[in-house]
Amino acid sequence: MGRWEPGARERLREAALELFMERGFEQTMVVDIAQRAGVTARTFFRYFADKREVLFDGSADLAKQVKDVAETVPATASALDVVAAVLDAVAQLVGDDRDRARARQTVIAANTDLRERELIKQAALTAALTDALRQRGVGDIEAGLAAETGSAVFRVAFSQWVDATEHRDLRDVLRETLTRLRHLAAAG
Amino acid sequence: MGRWEPGARERLREAALELFMERGFEQTMVVDIAQRAGVTARTFFRYFADKREVLFDGSADLAKQVKDVAETVPATASALDVVAAVLDAVAQLVGDDRDRARARQTVIAANTDLRERELIKQAALTAALTDALRQRGVGDIEAGLAAETGSAVFRVAFSQWVDATEHRDLRDVLRETLTRLRHLAAAG
């Protein structure tokens, strides 16, 4: 058997999400996920440490991406311009699969451990963005505020995107939400 | 033995924090905390479900307080004015004991479970504030954004207050941080 099986990672992600939705996260075993994806449990463990990690695949890369984007924005950009560029990039990474995003949210919302893991992940991303802004010479407090604001915009926009009756581009919803925040702050 | 012992709750809180700092959270047992506070373990369990809850004492009331404050702000106030009033009230609840706040942060930062519990608590408060704003007739997105913004301001201001070399009033640091956010959003 070859070390890598083409498409296995993606099939495992899909199979896991289906099973979590059908049976619940706790009731789903790694062997069930592997079977549904048409691979062995051994193959599963080549890609993921455990069933929980299937839901958080790619989140380790995300922090790096955030830093990379923050570095490429022109030096003249304001802190919130950097945040806007990062949100654009995140939208691209999340992609267009709203059904998948909705299923993932449903699974996470139903399990305390998963909710905690999701919050820790978000906090780590906010910290990565804060660091990236500091590297650009933004002061500590402004860096923290801008990063936290970006995180706030993401949470509000994401749940709006997932729940909306019409399908919209996540990037557009993020941009619109950031603009709303600006108005809110200016008007308040 | 009487059912309540005067000052026991406060003594238990202090004893727990001291021991967590001295020995670490995991290495501290309920019986140690009770002994240091001069009460029995049985008395401990009258006040707290377990040693973790000593660190989160009062956080259940906090969500209610947030709602109460949000209800008393005049109907003409903007969403961010409500957030500002809530932050003032939270500053009063947190009080003036920066050493205690710093010790608590240190203990929480060193333990993954505690960090997760803290994040869940913050998310619950943000949700409570979002609800309270909705009750006032603020639209869903603005309510979510204003509450998340308040939460962001709190996190940034709180760590600044805790870490600052000079002692400042938490309320003032919160107000100043909210003003900074307004400027950041306007300038961006």
Nearest CA in chain B to A153: B145
Give every CB contact of residue B21 below 8 A, 6+ residues apart in sequence. B103, B106, B107
Distance from CA of A83 to the nearest CA of B (A): 10
B98/B81 same-domain check: yes
B99/B167 same-domain check: yes
Nearest CA in chain A to B112: A120
Q: Closest CB to A181: pick one of B116, B120, B145.
A: B145
B50/B72 same-domain check: no
Contacts of A84 in chain B (CB under 8 A): 188
**The CATH number of the domain where A13 resides is what?**
1.10.10.60
Question: Is ipTM over 0.90?
Answer: no
Distance from CA of B6 to the nearest CA of A (A): 36
A42/A26 same-domain check: yes
Let me know if residue A1 belongs to a domain: no
**The CATH number of the domain where B156 resides is what?**
1.10.357.10
pLDDT in tens, chain B (188 residues): 445 677 999 999 999 999 999 999 999 999 999 999 999 999 999 999 999 999 998 877 888 889 999 999 998 999 999 999 999 999 998 888 899 999 999 999 999 889 989 998 999 999 999 999 999 999 999 999 999 999 999 999 999 999 888 889 999 999 999 999 999 888 75
Q: Are B182 and B170 in contact, with CB atoms under 8 Å apart?
A: no
Q: Are A24 and A110 in contact, with CB atoms under 8 Å apart?
A: yes
Q: Please tell me the distance from the alpha carbon of residue B155 to that of residue A149, in angstroms, as a whole number.
A: 11
The residue range of the domain holding B117 is 58-187
Angle among Cα A109, A114, A115 to the nearest 5 degrees reads 55
A71/A127 same-domain check: yes
User: pTM score, two decimals?
Assistant: 0.86
* CB spacing of A141 vs B181 below 8 angstroms: no
Question: For the residues of B21-66, what is the DSSP string, one character each?
Answer: HHH-STT--HHHHHHHHTS-HHHHHHH-SSHHHHHTTTHHHHHHHH
Q: How many CB pairs under 8 A join A and B?
A: 115
Let me know if residue A88 belongs to a domain: yes
B86/B38 same-domain check: no
From the list B170, B69, B75, the residue with the least C-alpha distance to B125 is B69
Q: Which of B78, B158, B184 best tests the A interface by mutation, with the highest count of A CBs <10 A?
A: B184
A150/A92 same-domain check: yes
Cα B105 vs. chain centroid, distance in angstroms? Answer: 11
From the list A55, A159, A39, A179, the residue with the least C-alpha distance to B144 is A159
Query: What is the number of domains present in chain B?
Result: 2
A100/A73 same-domain check: yes
Report mean pLDDT in 10-residue bins for chain A, 188 residues: 73 96 96 96 95 89 90 92 95 90 94 91 93 94 94 94 91 96 83
Let me know if residue A163 belongs to a domain: yes
B92/B71 same-domain check: yes
B147/B170 same-domain check: yes
B107/B165 same-domain check: yes
Distance from CA of A101 to the nearest CA of B (A): 19
B99/B154 same-domain check: yes
Q: Please tell me the distance from the alpha carbon of residue A150 to that of residue B152, in angstroms, as a whole number.
A: 10
